[in-house]
């Protein structure tokens, strides 16, 4: 994957920015998120988390299975605020 490729469409973070974060010592998906904002967009990382994990595995030599997936936070999917405000 070239450095110019957008990894996180929501936050417009490139593979190069993720690689730079990893080369600076970041070793978890959560830390990559904090450093680059990848995974903090509207989709909550559903689109980019696997790409970040792949880059982390490639850059560190870790097996892909050893890269911890990001913790899911509710709401898992975007929902209208009105849906959360409805009463029984």
| Contacts with ligand FES, residue ranges (CB under 6 A) | 8-11, 38-39, 41-43, 45, 47-48
Which residue number, 72 or 86, has a Cβ lying nearer to ligand FES?
Answer: 72
Identify the residue whose tokens are 């560190």. 60
Number of C-beta neighbours around residue 70 at 10 A:
20
Q: How far is the CB of 88 from ligand FES (least distance, A)?
A: 32
Q: How far is the CB of 71 from ligand FES (least distance, A)?
A: 14
Spatial separation of the C-alpha atoms in residues 8 and 50, rounded to whole Å:
10
Cα separation, 7 vs 14, in Å, equals: 5
CB of 72: closest distance to ligand FES in angstroms? 13
């Amino acid at each position: 994957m070239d450095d110019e490729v957008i990894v996180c469409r929501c936050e417009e973070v490139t593979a190069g920015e993720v690689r730079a974060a990893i080369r600076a010592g970041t070793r978890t998906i959560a830390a990559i998120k904090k450093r680059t904002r990848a995974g903090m967009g509207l989709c909550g990382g559903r689109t980019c988390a696997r790409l970040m994990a792949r880059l982390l595995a490639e850059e560190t030599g870790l097996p892909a299975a050893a890269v911890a997936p990001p913790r899911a936070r509710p709401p898992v999917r975007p929902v209208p605020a009105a849906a959360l405000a409805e009463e029984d």
